[in-house]
Amino acid sequence: MDALVSLSKRRGFIFQSSEIYGGTGSCWDYGPLGVELKQNIKRVWWRDYIQRRPDMMGLDASILMHPTVWKASGHVDNFTDPMVDCLECRRRFRADKIDETPWVHYCPATKGNKFTIPPGEPCSHCGVTRTLCPECGKGELTPPRQFNLMFKTFMGPVEEDASLTYLRPETAQGIFVNFDNVLQSMRRKLPFGIGQIGKAFRNEITPGNFIFRTREFEQMEIEFFVNPLETVEGRPADEYWHERWIEDSMAWFRRYGLGEENLRLREHEADELAHYAKRTADIEYRFPIGWSELMGIANRTDFDLKQHAKFSGKALTYFDEERKEHVVPYVIEPSAGVDRALLAFLADAYREEEVRGEKRVVLRFHPELAPLKVAVLPLLKKREDIVRTAHAIRDELSKDWSVVYDDTAAIGRLYRRQDEVGTPYCVTVDVQTVGDQAKGEVGDGKVTIRDRDSMEQIRVPLEALGSVFRELLGGAAWASVAGRFERKGDG
Ligand code: ATP
């Protein structure tokens, strides 16, 4: 994790929010490369789930909603975490996560020496398990009490007159309250889904672990509405679609680079199921902090639509033409965090390799996610014709992709810099490309393309660059493209 945090800051991915004021522990800012990576994650998600699927549509609901929404959804009463306080140092912890952090222990068997013991383990000297505050190792903890995670705010110019409302803690409710609007305006038949990407806010008791748990984050959520009277392949439609969404979601994370061995499914036990859920399965990822939730896929039944119908007095039903009756759809909810997905993609892409006796740090991002697709590098920055050609290539390629020009170091170092931010391809312009007028030599009009992962290089005619990158960045394997061109030594 330390390597990721430091690389993220050094190379412009993620900065601590308000850092010059000492920072906040619970918010992070995405820098120039981080924002590209984040946009790419959201773009492929939107394309794969909203644009390409005939049964899906998009929505962008507001963050501030009518306060009754949160009464109806159960958030005012139930969106709580159990909190304990240390009576000594006053720090607060989530009671259900407290054994997931290392704990400080003053061991009586070693004259009170201080140890930091791994999460959940007993002291190897005296054998006791943690009962006191894990941070200071001294204070007793209060019994757990429920703490509501919603951020309160006021709507209107004068605080006292204004109505209390909340920053949304999930995007889902914006979809439920618009169910009928979408159904009527888009004339849909069940099953169909509505997807949304947007900010959510939770006043987490213990935010931390970089962008894993923050108080302001982004979600990519889908509410997929199914007819509970129908069966598909001999199973109730909601159960069939739940299974389909679990498989689809797993496949999606694998497609964009998460290793099979770092992904697993975890079913919620009956006693941890949310108040609305019939079944929930989490996709867990092996983060640097250990196996933790990456996304949840819940069967929310007809709970939300029924609640909103009850509180608003508006019918939120679907007319089943075949059976001639009104039904309240069941809902399958695949819900992923954008920031957590980004952390997983970053962690999975990160490699430290040894190349010719030197350490190379490389982010092996899927090309669709990589913040920069191509870097154009002049071999000699004093040669005006080389520099001009390199700029012209950048200008041309940047019509379609995010491309940078860099001449601030020697070529070896420039390659390493691009490896470190995960740029899949570099293009170098050299003397051979443009020739040497003084010596009467004409250029061959070819540039070198270097592949990040294999470090192989090929010579490609300038006029073929566009089509070659269309292939490579469109998913073609390097070997299948490289085979058609002249090979150069590795770079
Ligand atoms: P956790 O148990 O980790 O608190 P949750 O089960 O409350 O998470 P959900 O309500 O299912 O989370 O939210 C859906 C997704 O939103 C999560 O899988 C996660 O990716 C993301 N998410 C939730 N809370 C946060 C947070 N505080 N910071 C970043 N992402 C979050």
pLDDT, tens digit (0-9, with 9 covering 90-100), for 222-246? 999 999 999 999 999 999 999 999 9
At 71, the amino acid letter reads: K
55-101 tens-digit pLDDT: 999 999 999 999 999 999 999 998 888 889 999 999 988 898 899 88
Q: 320 C-alpha to center of ligand 1: Å?
A: 34
What does the pLDDT read at residue 162? 67
Query: Mind listing the pLDDT tens digit for each residue in 243-280?
Result: 999 999 999 999 999 999 999 999 999 988 888 899 99
* pLDDT score for 431: 87
Residue among 279, 220, 273, 271 nearest 246 (CA): 279
Res 442 pLDDT > 80? yes
| Cα 247 to ligand 1 centre (Å) | 20
Assign 282 a pLDDT band (cuts: 50, 70, 90): very high
Asked if residue 449 has pLDDT above 80, the reply is yes
User: For ligand 1, what atom is nearest to the CA of residue 204?
Assistant: 27
208, HSE (Cβ side, Cα atoms, 13 Å):
10
- What pLDDT shows up at residue 396? 96
- Check if 343 has its Cβ closer than 6 Å to any atom of ligand 1: no
Backbone angles phi, psi at 300, to 5 degrees: -90, 10
pLDDT digits (tens, 9 = 90+) for 27-63: 999 999 999 999 999 999 999 999 999 999 999 999 9
Q: Is the CB of 100 under 6 A from ligand 1?
A: no
Cα–Cα distances (Å) from 355 to 56, 343, 360, in that order, read 46, 26, 6
- Give the pLDDT confidence score for residue 186 in this predicted structure: 96
In DSSP notation, 18-87 reads TGGGT--TT-EEE-HHHHHHHHHHHHHHHIIIIIS-TTEEE----SB--HHHHHHTTHHHH-EEEEEEBT
pLDDT score for 255: 96
Encode pLDDT of 321-359 as tens digits: 999 999 999 999 999 999 999 999 999 999 999 998 999
Q: Is 228 helix (H, G, I), strand (E, B) or coil?
A: coil
Using the atom order of ligand 1, give the atom closest to the CA of residue 202: 27
Query: At 49, which amino acid appears?
Result: Y
Helices 338-349, 32-46: inter-axial angle, 10-degree rounding: 110
Substitution site in 24, 42, 100, 340 for ligand 1 pocket (most atoms within 8 Å of beta carbon): 340
Instruction: Measure the CA–CA gap between 441 and 221, rounded to whole angstroms.
Output: 59
C-beta 378 within 6 A of ligand 1: no
Nearest-atom index, ligand 1, CA of 213: 28
- CA dist., res. 219 & res. 231, Å (int): 30
At 54, list the tokens: 């005939």
Ligand 1 centroid to Cα of residue 337, in Å, is 6
CA 281 remoteness from chain centre: 18
Is residue 460 within 8 Å of 470, Cβ to Cβ? Answer: no
pTM: 0.91
Q: pLDDT band at 481, cuts 50/70/90?
A: very high
What is the reported pLDDT for 218? Answer: 98
Q: Are 316 and 340 in contact (CB under 8 A)?
A: no
Banded pLDDT at 25 (limits 50, 70, 90): confident
Distance 94 CA to ligand 1 centre (A): 14
- Please, what is the average pLDDT of the chain? 94
Give the rounded percent of residues in the chain with a pLDDT score beyond 70: 99
pLDDT band at 290; cut points 50, 70, 90: very high
Contact 288, 233 (CB under 8 A): no
Question: 206 CB less than 6 Å from ligand 1?
Answer: no
Check pocket membership of 337 for ligand 1, CB cut-off 6 A: yes
What is d(CA 242, CA 385) in angstroms, rounded to the nearest whole number?
Answer: 59
Is 158 a residue whose pLDDT tops 80?
no
pLDDT confidence of residue 161? 61
CA distance 336 to 93: 24
Residue closest to 434 by CA, chosen among 422, 426, 442: 442
Question: Regarding predicted confidence, which is higher, 24 or 59?
Answer: 59
Q: Mean pLDDT throughout 367-395?
A: 95
Provide mean pLDDT across the span 194-217: 94
Tell how far the Cα of 184 is from the centroid of ligand 1, in angstroms. 31
